[in-house]
């Protein structure tokens, strides 16, 4: 596997970062995950816009303009195997003497990009759906920043794994649902798709946008608003989205079946629309 690190393309085994990198010491950096289908980078402009939002959120200058990112990413995709890949792009504030405050004058940021094969979700997951648990959303108030400081998300996801589940759905203030530890969550009730608003309490997912666009374009009733905890537990269906998981049905929540306990009609519809979109748009770069 070839990665990109600070201007160089290297085999991953040869890549290393100094121990005083602020990403290593403080988790002081941001990242992006971008899917690539048939070697075409999906919604690069949107991902770069979200990256800029994250960089602005941590007051770090963007080391590259869009044309430079496009060139770096294109080169990396070309150098790696697999027509479907997912890019991981990571920028930290760089290497400096350990001090919480930003280095002054600023130092050169560390830029790391890798691309891994992106397998389609296994058939068993599509057929059976996944099991999730719920937990209190104990993260900070800037979940819209795609921060590399992911310890809360790591601990929350591990709670799911320890319970034999796939994801943890987060509930803020014991009142409303925000998202998953590494995914966005939709609720379906009486044929309507409900999505939480893109505010400071969740990551504005690119897949979330695609699902809402598909709903709008295909006459599927949908509403963006706060989704209350009770609505999560009385949902007919629950859906999970992310760049690497696409759209999955959640068929069990906290050990109880969601609706019928099987992937439902809304999942079937949106999954089919997503697959068509992947074939006709994502693989042809016509989004
Ligand atoms: N995570 N919310 C959180 C907290 C996430 O970490 C992610 C994605 C999403 C979904 O966003 P998108 O549809 O743009 O992938 C929502 C990526 C996949 C990761 O950290 O690996």
pLDDT, tens digit, for every residue of 265-287? 999 999 999 999 999 999 996 55
Ligand 1 mean position, distance from CA 104 (Å): 32
Residues 169 and 82 in one domain: no
Number of independent structural domains in the chain: 2
Both tokens assigned to 259: 């609706």
Q: How far is CA 255 from CA 74, 176, 236, in A?
A: 44, 20, 16
Residues 254 and 127 in one domain: yes
In a domain, 28, yes or no: yes
Ligand 1 mean position, distance from CA 175 (Å): 22
Q: Which residues of 234-252 are buried (b: 16+ CB within 10 A; e: fewer)?
A: ebbbbbbbbbebbbbbbbb
Residues 22 and 62 in one domain: yes
d(CA 242, CA 90): 18
In a domain, 10, yes or no: yes
Both tokens assigned to 58: 């941590």
- The whole-number pLDDT of residue 286 equals 55
Contacts of 191 (CB under 8 A, 6+ apart): 221, 266
d(CA 148, CA 138): 17
Domain that holds residue 231: 123-282
d(CA 108, CA 60): 11
d(CA 152, CA 182): 11
d(CA 206, CA 194): 16
Question: What value does the mean pLDDT take over residues 124-150?
Answer: 98
d(CA 37, CA 84): 5
Element (H, E) at 200: none
| Domain final residue, candidates 117, 135, 153 | 117
| Domain final residue, candidates 83, 117, 151 | 117
d(CA 32, CA 10): 20
In a domain, 107, yes or no: yes
- The whole-number pLDDT of residue 159 equals 98
For residue 104, is pLDDT > 90?
Answer: yes
Quick: pLDDT tens for 149-208: 999 999 999 999 999 999 999 999 999 999 999 999 999 999 999 999 999 999 999 999
CA-nearest residue for atom 11, ligand 1, is 205
Residues 248 and 152 in one domain: yes
In a domain, 287, yes or no: no
| Domain final residue, candidates 117, 139, 168 | 117
Both tokens assigned to 181: 């530890």
Helix pair 206-217, 44-57: axis angle to 10 deg: 130
Atom of ligand 1 nearest to the CA of 208: 13
Q: Is the CB of 242 under 6 A from ligand 1?
A: yes
Residues 176 and 93 in one domain: no
What CATH code is carried by the domain that includes residue 100? 3.30.470.10
Q: Which of 237, 223, 229 is nearest to 195 (CA)?
A: 223
Q: Which of 274, 261, 149 is nearest to 211 (CA)?
A: 274
- The whole-number pLDDT of residue 217 equals 98
Q: Which residues pair with 240 in a beta bridge?
A: 185, 248
CA-nearest residue for atom 9, ligand 1, is 183
Q: Which of 129, 136, 121, 124 is nearest to 207 (CA)?
A: 121
- The whole-number pLDDT of residue 285 equals 67
Quick: pLDDT tens for 19-69: 999 999 999 999 999 999 999 999 999 999 999 999 999 999 999 999 999
To test the pocket of ligand 1, the residue of 182, 247, 278 to mutate (highest count of ligand atoms within 8 Å of its CB) is 182
In a domain, 260, yes or no: yes
Q: Is the CB of 179 under 6 A from ligand 1?
A: yes
């Amino acid at each position: 596997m070839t990665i990109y690190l600070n201007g160089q393309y290297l085999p991953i085994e040869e890549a290393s970062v100094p121990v005083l990198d602020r990403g290593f010491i403080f988790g002081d950096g941001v990242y992006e995950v971008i899917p690539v289908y048939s070697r075409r980078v999906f919604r690069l402009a949107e991902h770069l816009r979200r990256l800029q939002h994250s960089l602005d959120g941590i007051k770090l200058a963007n080391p590259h303009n869009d044309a430079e990112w496009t060139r770096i990413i294109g080169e990396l995709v070309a150098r790696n195997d697999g027509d479907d890949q997912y890019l991981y792009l990571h920028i930290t504030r760089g290497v400096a003497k350990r001090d919480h405050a930003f280095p002054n004058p600023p130092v050169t940021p560390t830029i790391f990009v890798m691309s891994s094969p992106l397998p389609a979700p296994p058939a068993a997951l599509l057929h059976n759906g996944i099991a999730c648990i719920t937990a209190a959303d104990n993260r900070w108030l800037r979940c819209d920043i795609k921060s590399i400081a992911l310890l809360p998300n790591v601990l929350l996801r591990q709670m799911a794994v320890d319970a034999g589940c796939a994801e943890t759905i987060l509930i803020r203030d014991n009142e409303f649902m925000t998202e998953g530890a590494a995914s966005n969550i939709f609720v379906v009730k009486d044929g309507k798709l409900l999505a939480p608003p893109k505010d400071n309490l969740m990551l504005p997912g690119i897949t979330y946008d695609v699902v809402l666009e598909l709903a709008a374009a295909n006459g599927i009733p949908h509403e963006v608003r706060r989704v209350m905890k009770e609505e999560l537990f009385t949902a007919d269906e629950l859906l999970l989205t992310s760049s690497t998981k696409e759209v999955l049905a959640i068929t069990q929540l906290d050990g109880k079946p969601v609706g019928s306990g099987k992937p439902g009609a809304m999942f079937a519809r949106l999954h089919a629309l997503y697959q068509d979109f992947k074939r006709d748009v994502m693989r042809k770069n016509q989004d």
